[in-house]
Structure 1
Amino acid sequence: MAQNFALKEIKPNIGKGRVTGTGPDRLTSSRDLVEETYYLFVRVVKVKELPWNAALGICDPFVEIKVGNYKGRTSFLENKPDWNEVFAFRKERIQTSTMDIVVRERALPNDEIIGKICFNMSDIPTRVPPDSPLAPQWYKLDDKNGIYLGMGELMLAIWFGTQADEVFPNAWNSDLTLVNGDSIVNTRSKVYIQPKLWYLRVSIVEGQDLVSKSKTPEVYVKANLGFVSLKTRVSSNKSLNPKWGEDLMFVAAEPFDESLILTVVEKLEDKTEVNLGKCEIPVSKVSKRNLPEAVGAKWYDLKQVVTEESSGQAKDAKFATKLSMKVSLDGGYHVFDEPVHVSSDFRPSYKVLWPGTIGLLELGILGATGLIPMKSRNGRETTDAYCVAKYGPKWIRTRTAVDTFAPKWNEQYVWDIYEPYSVLTIGIFDNCHLHGEGMLVGPKDPKIGKLRIRLSTLRINKVYTYSYPIIAMQPTGIKKMGELQLSIRFTCPSYQALCKSYFRPLIPKMHIIFPLSVYQLDSLRQQTVEILSMRLTRTEPPLRKEVVECMLDADAQMWSMRRAKANFERLKAVFGVFVNAWKVFNDLRKWRNWILSLSVLVAGVIVVFCPTEILLYGLPFLPLSCAFVLFGRFRKLPKDPPFMNVKLSLAESVNADDLDEEFDSFPSSKQGDVLRMRYDRLRSFAAKIMHMIGDLACHGERINSLWSGEDPRAPKIFLFACLVAALCLHWISYFNHPWNWKIIAACVWLYVMRCDWMWRKDVPSVPSIFFRKLPTKVDRLL
């Protein structure tokens, strides 16, 4: 059965929230893009005056909340002053009119009851933010028969609320009954702010007074920052005062608690290496460069590593060797953590250089439908899904919907927007850390799917409610993993500021004045992904490395035959517009449609012989006519936002060999004939790209040959043709008749649009023949 990858518009029951703030500075809304879900909240604070167990000599109580078939339990008190834990039970699933709260003793047999409290659901109040939180109250404990014995009180707060309640993200949820108690932290929704990143530039200029046994040493400088190690080339002058003049780039994250370690290394003749000295520079003491201004070089003293023969330990010893360097934190750059074309942020590191906000992006993650099973639990297939969204430095993670193929999240988030040409990335993953696995170890959370939404394609103040297909490429081919239901709104208080942003440079000024090479950007992005993976993994709940790498497209640079073919088809489609336009005009010239060709011919003659005054009078109306044409085209544009295009990605037509290569590891795990076949196929595809680039180069070289003189006759012929044309035009202008130029233009138009029986030949025109015979450099290639 064919899979349906279409975008579907949905009509969720949203818009019941209250607007909490309006104005040009800040527009916020409270849960008006998601469906309200009501919960019964129970906050257990503390207990007092419990009966003392003299036989055991201990008192270790816990509280159990029973609501119908649902049961929640606090942790053991264990000499703590209070619990202060919150429990949430979804109201629509409560099938009882009463709720029992029981205090039990851990040390007694079968956790015997100390006391209990019974509540009627009709007596519980409702609280909706921004109302203040309910104050907890003391409730007296009855025995199991409902009789108060005068001992024990429990402090509680009970109310009905929605997912907008501030205690909801950290509350125990009734949907998490299958989750191990210690793993509940892995199910909570959180907002993460990634650390501010800077580019650390280290310019190695020269060294002085190296201590080496050789008078012509081959030395280089090795720089280490955290887990990254870079090194320069061997010095250009082999002397005790070497020179390099080379830049090394690192990514540094705030707070700057690391040190930059530089080591001068000498390469000996036996291919061994000796450390001639090192210096350590704390990144926190490095000066920040916010504008494209020069940084002065400084001399840094090196320390020589000396090993004590008695202890075998290395110690530092100062000596006269120095190293001249320019070290700076370049805050004028933007540290790219995503691919440039799908980036969500382009602001520089230095906050003073940030542009003003142009609006807000509000995202409501409603739920998902039709998710496929991702794992098996107790012999039954299941999925524990959660969503991660990333825009700029702000990441969000929804709570985990346990054991369901149609999860409901109904969580709303907001981001400040600085640039409309930016992309929101949303991924959905399966949580594999719900049953006692380690926080940082254990199985990985597999990706279910991912989608992107470009903000410039959204209309202002319109709420988009769509069900997006979750599409994933797998080793077996393309597969629909389900549908993700979202509500999106792009709010802009100033349309003028939004229009101005279209004329503002996309990247900071430093990227333009001091551009980084492609290799530098690739290396720096790898460092950035690794830094963010380590930092976000140390949060609670951790945003795991595989999730961060997936959201940041860490494998975007990996080779894929499918992507290469898709980009090649995109390139052909771009040039295809001009090719199609030429084909249409060529059909008119060859009179394939007599009526249309005759109409174009007559229209051209009328325009040529039209009085000049009328043409000049109608010239100002030409832009207005184009505007009306564009407006008519604009009305026919699709109203739905763009999404992942299966046809554009060539996902349905990809073959098994291409898929096997795309999901192969790097370095490849294949051997023998498979690698040979892939290499030959890559050479065949690359040959097409090579010939296309060669044809474009040939056309450019033919134009350059007109004045380069490589062909001694072609420039003379071209100059002679130009001279004849100039003389003819001068002779025509000599008579100074108003109809001269119009007659010439009409003759040229009639010649271009001539019929087959009017001097039409099946050979190219004389100028095209002459252009094709101009020399190129293709014959000089080896």
Structure 2
Amino acid sequence: MSNLKLGVEVVGAHDLVPKDGQGSSDAFVELHFDGQKFRTTTKDKDLNPVWNESFYFNVSDPNNLPNLNLEAYVYNHNKANNSKSFLGKVRLTGTSFVPYSDALVFFKPASRNGIFRAYRFILKRISTTSRSSKVVPNRFPDDKAERRRTFHHLPNPKVSQQQHSSPAAPQPTMNYGAQEMKSEPQGPKIMHMFSGSPSQPVDYSLKETSPFLGGGRIVGGRVIRGDRPTSTYDLVEQMTYLFVRVVKARDLPPKDMTGSLDPFVEVKVGNYKGTTKYYEKKQNPEWNEVFAFARDRVQSSVMDVVVKDKDMLKDDFVGIVRFDLNEIPTRVPPDSPLAPEWYRLEDRKREKSKAGELMLAVWYGTQADEAFPDAWHSDAISPTDSSSNVSTHIRSKVYHSPRLWYVRVRVIEAQDLIVSDKNRFPDVYVKVQIGNQVLKTKANQARSLNPVWNEDLMFVASEPFEDHLILSIEDRVGPSKDETIGKVAIPLNSVEKRADDRIVRSQWVHIEKSMSAALDGEQAKKDKFSSRLHLCVCLDGGYHVLDESTYYSSDLRPTAKQLWKPPVGVLELGILNADGLHPMKTRDGKGTSDTYCVAKYGQKWVRTRTIINSLSPKYNEQYTWEVFDPATVLTVGVFDNSHIGGSNGNKDMKIGKVRIRISTLETGRVYTHSYPLLVLHPSGVKKMGELHLAIRFSYTSFANMMFLYSRPLLPKMHYIRPLSVMQQDMLRHQAVNVVAARLGRAEPPLRKEVVEYMSDVNSHLWSMRRSKANFFRLMSVFSGLFAVGKWFGEVCMWKNPITTVLVHLLFVMLVCFPELILPTVFLYMFLIGLWNYRYRPRYPPHMNTRISYADAVHPDELDEEFDTFPTSRSPEMVRLRYDRLRSVAGRIQTVVGDVATQGERVQGLLSWRDPRATTIFVIFCLVAAVVLYVTPFQVLALLAGCYFMRHPRFRHKTPSVPINFFRRLPARTDSML
């Protein structure tokens, strides 16, 4: 067997043919070479899978290598019968193999049945390497090599990849090159494609665009005025619509034999047709419905407005009004709405008839028209479908989440309880309920008829207050058996509100007991008796009710309006379009999606109209928010509407979301970027498409904006009466449920799964992937300290004598003139800040798969993350995961124990747990005090510095005396079981 190996890296595939009947495929690749076979993992439900998996084949005869072929077969995995279906094939001859130093990523069209499909590509890295060569991992060993990456430029005249270190090649061609690595003389070389961040894959990176919007072309965040007039909607592309408002009709003739009429109106422009609802037996109906037809899609010069009579078999013709589209006026806001007019209906022969009249208003406008949100849109449906049955679920809407309050209930005590069994003392507790929220106090340990609890319970309630605060005293008479002693109901709208920490007076309330009549059918009556409950209830408005993840919030204001400050800025968002979306359903044998976007900031939620049957929808809708604190986050999500061809249990499927922190935006700049929509699935991270946004943040007062940075992040009550971590998690969960229930009652409803996904309700659950990601984040934070420590160690070891001598001189100067230490430190940080200004980020931060540890996560860890809570997996699987968790927790436990040990040794210096060690330390302290009194501090500092930076010739390999003394000090580990 030779030492030569063939290395193949299967990177990904594009635009595979759907095979699973749901508009997608479960793809994997099989590699065949020289009688050997390898197989990649299966990527579920992905037409653009990414593998990034490497394989190495043994080359039996290097001389015969040019005659060998590498074959890559792309298959779809059929899980139902555990079979595979063929998708495509790639064959590479041995003459195309190159040495490792010249290896590159390239595109290869996959063929099927001898016919090449130009839209289906597989990316591969092909190289040959010797076994004696040092294999370089798929990461750069140091920052210097990281800066020497190869740039990969995609030919798109409107999209340019964000780059920090160097711009991409300007030629609209694919530019490849080899990257030389620091290795042995005969070591291999490797190349990488450039991504917008040091570790983010290029396909998952942000892309800056230069679209032509309402105010002009956006280049580099600045508006370049064009020929188009400016508009109030200057962050989106202006789209012209033909608006038709159907108001009402009068004097319509009867059509049925009974002399009645069931009228409705049909508006037809070219292939598009919109219909109003119909009224039964009404000759003077009122509709007041608006239809909007995209002008660029209209392929006709006339528009027909037809009144028809609804019938079981065939709708009857009543009358028609025809318009010439070239004579329709244009309305530009802020002009007043166009006044509707009465039009005489004509018969089929274009003659005025006695068929009645129809009131209409017809005009040209843009999405800035106030009729746009409530209109029926032609670009939101297919040309052959009026979609009247789902029109209410595809319109754009603005929602306002309810104002949330914390309800603080302090259950103090009860008096004169009456129980059914007089021979026993009750084991009582109080159950408190608001809507679906239920909390209980602890059972009273001292059993008596006058129990005392003195416990605080907190709930979330929303305005307007529709629920009651219900308190019931329960007696635990046996295992899993409780008996209600009495209840009391308090309307929330009668509870006192407070915006500060003032004391709320407690109150005694009488307990009511529901008594049922015996057997005579008498209605139940309420009987007041002498038992009383002492409690204190208030609505706390001084807090900000958290309804989002702890890591990011879109609003930090308190609930009470009297505590609100004026806004400091305005945030404008233009939702332009989405591109390359992943199909979420199958219609007419093709994969498609019916998508809409949801944006959340503060209490305002917005929803765009639904674009049906499109994987590249254009929204072009603009929204505005007031900003009260820049340390907040805007969230934009994309969803598939389940009301159109409903599936998946009628749940709106998530396609992806984007989070943008307002404080990272420069003032007045227009950010136009294409954001990749990344979603973590049980099979791994997937790119579901790209969302094109335009964002601008502007402040109202620079002084107020800068003053905010000196103010507390959260309202005052969070620091006066802080909530525990457990309380925050519980209250956040309750707040999301309250907001989801309220927005679910709107029309169209904002569904619960949408609210939960936008609020990141599961971010607090355990995940091995998140734990690893947070660990590496922590290591990245301390990497600078580690680098400084390493550098100082090299200085002390005299690795570079010149640097060490200069450090000695600087050290002597600072010791002799200690007043220069702080000015030097701050001047150094000032210079670093100025130096880093040129490398400042040019675009808002986006989700990073490497930072999230989503690109290298184990499938079992993903399955654990997507498991339900409580778990639904088998006991054997749970046992394996529990053992793994114990292993990880054991390492964390060891680290925590080591840190505690060092702290206990410091305490042991003066605790006399080791009398001899404490004696030595006390004597040392006495000697040190005397020396410090008689010796100038500069001399001591100079001697200490010179000792630490002494030459290696004067160093010993064994630990120093202070370290040996410290390690011998006792800790409390001896006292642990």
Q: Output aligned runs, 1:52-91, within 5 Å.
A: 52-53=254-255, 55-78=257-280, 79=282, 81-91=285-295
Q: Helix, strand or coil: the match of 2:433?
A: strand
Aligned partner of 2:605 in structure 1 is 395
Q: Which amino acid aligns with 2:206?
A: L
Contact kept, 8 Å, 1:391 with 1:415, in 2: the verdict is: yes
Q: Give deviations 1:57-95, integer Å, cap 9, x for gaps.
A: 123333222212222222224325322221111111112
For the pair 1:579 / 2:786, whether they are aligned, the reply is yes
Q: Which amino acid aligns with 1:594?
A: P
Deviation at 1:665, TM superposition (A): 1.6
Contact kept, 8 Å, 2:250 with 2:285, in 1: the verdict is: no
Deviation at 1:303, TM superposition (A): 1.6
Q: Which amino acid aligns with 1:671?
A: S
Q: Helix, strand or coil: the match of 1:641?
A: coil
For the pair 1:44 / 2:251, whether they are aligned, the reply is no
Q: Helix, strand or coil: the match of 2:935?
A: helix
Aligned partner of 1:762 in structure 2 is 957
1:280 & 1:742 partners in 2: Cα distance?
A: 74
Q: Which amino acid aligns with 2:660?
A: I
Aligned partner of 1:736 in structure 2 is none
User: Would the alpha carbon gap of residues 104 and 274 (structure 1) be closer, same or farther in structure 2, given more than 3 Å must change?
Assistant: closer
Aligned partner of 2:553 in structure 1 is 343
Query: Which consecutive unaligned segments of at least 5 residues does structure 2 have?
Result: 1-10, 13-49, 51-202, 217-229
Aligned partner of 1:499 in structure 2 is 706
Deviation at 1:480, TM superposition (A): 0.3
Q: Output aligned runs, 1:624-773, within 5 Å.
A: 624-732=827-935, 742-757=938-953, 759-773=954-968
Q: Give deviations 1:411-470, integer Å, cap 9, x for gaps.
A: 111111111111111111000102589xxx951011111221111111111111100110
2:354 & 2:503 partners in 1: Cα distance?
A: 80
User: Would the alpha carbon gap of residues 108 and 621 (structure 1) be closer, same or farther in structure 2, given more than 3 Å must change?
Assistant: closer
For the pair 1:13 / 2:212, whether they are aligned, the reply is yes
Q: Which amino acid aligns with 1:772?
A: R
Q: Which amino acid aligns with 1:730?
A: Y
Aligned partner of 2:969 in structure 1 is 774
Contact kept, 8 Å, 1:464 with 1:488, in 2: the verdict is: yes
Aligned partner of 1:33 in structure 2 is 235
Aligned partner of 1:737 in structure 2 is none
2:386 & 2:855 partners in 1: Cα distance?
A: 38
Deviates more, 1:366-375 or 1:579-588: 579-588
Q: Output aligned runs, 1:238-387, within 5 Å.
A: 238-269=447-478, 272-310=481-519, 311=521, 314-387=524-597
Contact kept, 8 Å, 1:58 with 1:107, in 2: the verdict is: no
Deviation at 1:238, TM superposition (A): 1.4
Deviation at 1:621, TM superposition (A): 6.9
State the aligned residue count: 757
State the TM-score, normalizing by the size of structure 2. 0.74
Q: Helix, strand or coil: the match of 1:516?
A: coil
User: Would the alpha carbon gap of residues 673 and 258 (structure 1) be closer, same or farther in structure 2, given more than 3 Å must change?
Assistant: closer
Q: Which amino acid aligns with 1:246?
A: E
User: Would the alpha carbon gap of residues 338 and 312 (structure 1) be closer, same or farther in structure 2, given more than 3 Å must change?
Assistant: farther
Contact kept, 8 Å, 2:244 with 2:292, in 1: the verdict is: yes
Deviates more, 1:462-471 or 1:340-349: 340-349
Q: Which amino acid aligns with 1:9?
A: E
Q: Output aligned runs, 1:226-237, within 5 Å.
A: 226-237=435-446
User: Would the alpha carbon gap of residues 54 and 766 (structure 1) be closer, same or farther in structure 2, given more than 3 Å must change?
Assistant: closer
1:226 & 1:494 partners in 2: Cα distance?
A: 43
Q: Helix, strand or coil: the match of 1:508?
A: coil
Contact kept, 8 Å, 2:733 with 2:761, in 1: the verdict is: yes
Q: Cα RMSD between the aligned structures?
A: 2.3
Aligned partner of 2:391 in structure 1 is 184
1:417 & 1:775 partners in 2: Cα distance?
A: 56
User: Would the alpha carbon gap of residues 575 and 54 (structure 1) be closer, same or farther in structure 2, given more than 3 Å must change?
Assistant: closer
Aligned partner of 1:531 in structure 2 is 738
2:922 & 2:695 partners in 1: Cα distance?
A: 62
Q: Output aligned runs, 1:385-424, within 5 Å.
A: 385-424=595-634
Deviation at 1:566, TM superposition (A): 0.8
Q: Which amino acid aligns with 1:652?
A: D
Deviates more, 1:73-82 or 1:564-573: 73-82
Contact kept, 8 Å, 2:679 with 2:688, in 1: the verdict is: yes
Aligned partner of 1:553 in structure 2 is 760
2:337 & 2:888 partners in 1: Cα distance?
A: 65
Q: Which amino acid aligns with 2:514?
A: V
Q: Give deviations 1:384-411, integer Å, cap 9, x for gaps.
A: 1111111111111111011101111111
Q: Which amino acid aligns with 2:843?
A: D
2:325 & 2:262 partners in 1: Cα distance?
A: 29
Contact kept, 8 Å, 2:236 with 2:622, in 1: the verdict is: yes
Q: Helix, strand or coil: the match of 1:450?
A: strand
Q: Which amino acid aligns with 1:708?
A: S
User: Would the alpha carbon gap of residues 709 and 260 (structure 1) be closer, same or farther in structure 2, given more than 3 Å must change?
Assistant: same
For the pair 1:120 / 2:324, whether they are aligned, the reply is yes
Q: Which amino acid aligns with 1:226?
A: G
Q: Helix, strand or coil: the match of 1:727?
A: helix
2:854 & 2:962 partners in 1: Cα distance?
A: 44
For the pair 1:205 / 2:427, whether they are aligned, the reply is no
Contact kept, 8 Å, 1:191 with 1:395, in 2: the verdict is: yes
Deviation at 1:280, TM superposition (A): 1.4
1:752 & 1:560 partners in 2: Cα distance?
A: 44
Deviation at 1:251, TM superposition (A): 1.1
Q: Give deviations 1:18-60, integer Å, cap 9, x for gaps.
A: xxxxxxxxxx982111111111111122223444448551233
Contact kept, 8 Å, 1:179 with 1:434, in 2: the verdict is: no
Deviation at 1:624, TM superposition (A): 4.3
Deviation at 1:332, TM superposition (A): 1.3
Q: Helix, strand or coil: the match of 2:204?
A: coil
Deviates more, 1:719-728 or 1:52-61: 52-61
Contact kept, 8 Å, 1:59 with 1:107, in 2: the verdict is: no
Q: 1:153 aligns with which of 333, 357, 366?
A: 357
1:743 & 1:536 partners in 2: Cα distance?
A: 71
Q: Helix, strand or coil: the match of 1:261?
A: strand
1:527 & 1:444 partners in 2: Cα distance?
A: 21
Deviation at 1:644, TM superposition (A): 0.4
Deviation at 1:119, TM superposition (A): 2.0
Q: Helix, strand or coil: the match of 2:803?
A: helix
Q: Give deviations 1:98-150, integer Å, cap 9, x for gaps.
A: 22222333359843433323322221111111111111122233322223346
Larger helix share, 1 or 2: 1
2:950 & 2:514 partners in 1: Cα distance?
A: 87
Deviates more, 1:659-668 or 1:647-656: 659-668
Q: Helix, strand or coil: the match of 1:352?
A: helix
Q: Helix, strand or coil: the match of 1:400?
A: coil
Q: Which amino acid aligns with 1:335?
A: V
2:972 & 2:789 partners in 1: Cα distance?
A: 28
Deviates more, 1:535-544 or 1:286-295: 286-295
Deviates more, 1:174-183 or 1:399-408: 174-183
Q: Helix, strand or coil: the match of 2:571?
A: strand
2:547 & 2:252 partners in 1: Cα distance?
A: 56
Deviation at 1:625, TM superposition (A): 4.9
Contact kept, 8 Å, 2:274 with 2:386, in 1: the verdict is: no
User: Would the alpha carbon gap of residues 749 and 108 (structure 1) be closer, same or farther in structure 2, given more than 3 Å must change?
Assistant: closer
Q: Which amino acid aligns with 2:964?
A: I
User: Would the alpha carbon gap of residues 652 and 670 (structure 1) be closer, same or farther in structure 2, given more than 3 Å must change?
Assistant: same
Contact kept, 8 Å, 1:126 with 1:161, in 2: the verdict is: yes
Query: Which consecutive unaligned segments of at least 5 residues does structure 1 have?
Result: 18-27, 734-740
Contact kept, 8 Å, 2:468 with 2:489, in 1: the verdict is: yes
Q: Helix, strand or coil: the match of 2:908?
A: helix
Contact kept, 8 Å, 1:180 with 1:436, in 2: the verdict is: no
Q: Give deviations 1:649-676, integer Å, cap 9, x for gaps.
A: 0010101111111111222221143222
For the pair 1:484 / 2:694, whether they are aligned, the reply is no
Q: Which amino acid aligns with 2:440?
A: K
